[in-house]
Amino acid sequence: MYVCLCVGVTDRDIANAVSDGARSWREVRETTGCAGQCGKCACTGKSVMREAISQE
Ligand code: FES
């Protein structure tokens, strides 16, 4: 599923960033580029990140 349409970031991209060690929204943003433009995806992106971290 696409989380960020501006940059083209999927939930899997976010999960991969977490697998690679990202543990904060800032780190996920830096790794994936998510929320780098309009920012409307930030809430969904954070939820996906928290879910991925909880499954680590
Ligand atoms: Fe992610 Fe616009 S949808 S920055």
The fold adopted by the segment(s) 2-54 is Arc Repressor Mutant, subunit A (1.10.10)
- 14-29 pLDDT, tens digit per residue, is 999 999 999 999 999 9
CA of 42 to the centre of ligand 1 (A): 7
For residues 6 and 37, the answer to whether their CB atoms sit within 8 Å is yes
Closest-lying ligand 1 atom to the alpha carbon of residue 5: 3
Q: ipTM higher than 0.90? A: yes
Q: How are beta strands 2-4 and 9-10 bridged, if at all?
A: antiparallel
For residues 14 and 50, the answer to whether their CB atoms sit within 8 Å is no
Closest-lying ligand 1 atom to the alpha carbon of residue 35: 4
Distance in angstroms (rounded) separating the CA atoms of residues 6 and 29:
13
- 1-56 pLDDT, tens digit per residue, is 999 999 999 999 999 999 999 999 999 999 999 999 999 999 999 999 999 999 98
For residues 7 and 30, the answer to whether their CB atoms sit within 8 Å is no
User: Can you give the residue ranges of every domain in the chain?
Assistant: 2-54
Residue with tokens 């991925």: 52
